[in-house]
Structure 1
Amino acid sequence: MSLRFTLAITGASGSAFGVAVLKRLSANAGVEQVALLLSPTGKRCLHHETGLAPKDLAALPKVELRDERDLGADLSSGSYRHDGMAIVPCSAGALGRIAAGVSESLVSRAADVCLKERRPLVLCLRETPLNRIHLENMLRVHDAGAVVMPLMPGYYSGPTSLEDLYDTFATRVLDQLGLAEQDPRRWKS
């Protein structure tokens, strides 16, 4: 079965985690397409933190870079069939817009569609410390059906590089999207 996913990178620090998830989706044999959305600040963080540009990510196999301003895109409609969405990293602003049902960009509209259509939506919040508004917004999206998965990598796998942390976290995101992969870094007792 060919699967289609959406990945958004918004304007919070941690874009390397989003890149790791994108690479794993792109390399997965069961994935046919990955629609990639970057917010304006997400593009800036991506370049600042990784030196990459959107075109670099769009060059990966199966990746289609979409215009996050295009609210008329297929991702804006519940009739467009896909298998889930992850926002990695998810800024506190994006979280707040999704929690309030404000669809001012394709990122927030596509997330809203996932919630209303009961498709997997994984929000990887990158913010600290958290204030009461952040916590309430996390609870609101959780209660609406999203998975709130803050960028908190596990250290049990004995990472020897940042890439190890990114990849281990990416495995967990793919798990939440229903794409369980073999990964030697999974916990073993």
Structure 2
Amino acid sequence: MHTAPTRLVVGITGATGAAYGLSLLRRARALGLQTHLVLTPAGVLNAHHELGLTREQLEAEADHAHAPGDVGACVASGSFATAAMVVAPCSMRTLAAIAHGLGDNLLTRAADVTLKERRRLILMVRETPFNLAHLRNMTAVTEMGGIIFPPLPAFYHHPSSIQAMVDDTVERVLQLAGIEHAAPQAWGGLRKS
């Protein structure tokens, strides 16, 4: 009996932190997941500025890349089964559109579909400090069943590099998404000296 691969929808927007989206795509591939990427124009600008990558280079990291304006793509329908959707990073504009159910592009439509189908939606929101609109939008998404996951590093593991912090955060996100074999570094308790 043939089983279809586990599908993960990945959104990358213009907030800082393109490294999270790139690492997420690479780790998902290593775990054998089928990835569906929606990369916004601002996400392209940011990935170029932060990582030196073009749209084509970033899209090559995914199994399938969908244009943000292609609202007829497979990920726009609840009948297209996916394990979860992660927006990494998630801008405040994207958060607001998801919180208010706008579905004005493929990324926000796919997020809306994820919520309506009661699948896991994880938003790696990137902004600081938060204003009241940001907080209210995060509350609205949480009340709808989404997970707000600002990518805050865990320093208690004594990471050796920025990439180590990014990778550990991505593992935590994949575990939250219910992906088998995700392996975040577990807290082992304080060491007695």
Q: Shared topology, TM-score over 0.5? A: yes
Please tell me whether residue 47 in structure 1 is matched to residue 48 in structure 2: yes
1:63 corresponding residue in structure 2: 63
Q: State the distance in 1 between where 2:110 and 2:150 align.
A: 20
Give TM-score, length-normalised by structure 2: 0.92
Identity of aligned residues (%): 39
C-alpha deviation, 1:54, in angstroms:
2.5
Q: Residues 184, 73 of structure 1: CA spacing in aligned structure 2 closer, same or farther, 3 A cutoff? A: closer
The runs of 5 or more residues in structure 2 that have no matched partner are none
**Which residue, 2, 19, 26 being the options, matches 1:23?**
26
Match of 1:10 in 2: 13
1:182 Cα shift?
5.6
**TM-score between both structures, scaled by the size of structure 1:** 0.94
Answer whether contact 2:96 2:137 (CA < 8 A) is retained.
yes
Shift of 1:176: 1.1
Q: Does 1:178 align with 2:174?
A: no
Contact 2:20 2:166 in 1 (8 A): yes
Residue of structure 1 equivalent to 2:83: 83
> Partner of 2:111 in structure 1?
111
Q: Match for residue 94 of structure 2?
A: 94
Total equivalences in the alignment? 186
What residue ranges of structure 1 are gaps of 5+ in the alignment?
Answer: none
Task: Tell me the amino acid that sits aligned with residue 51 of structure 1.
Answer: G
- Following TM superposition, by how much is the alpha carbon of 1:76 offset from its aligned partner in structure 2, in angstroms? 1.0
Aligned residue type for 2:38? L
Q: CA RMSD in A?
A: 1.4
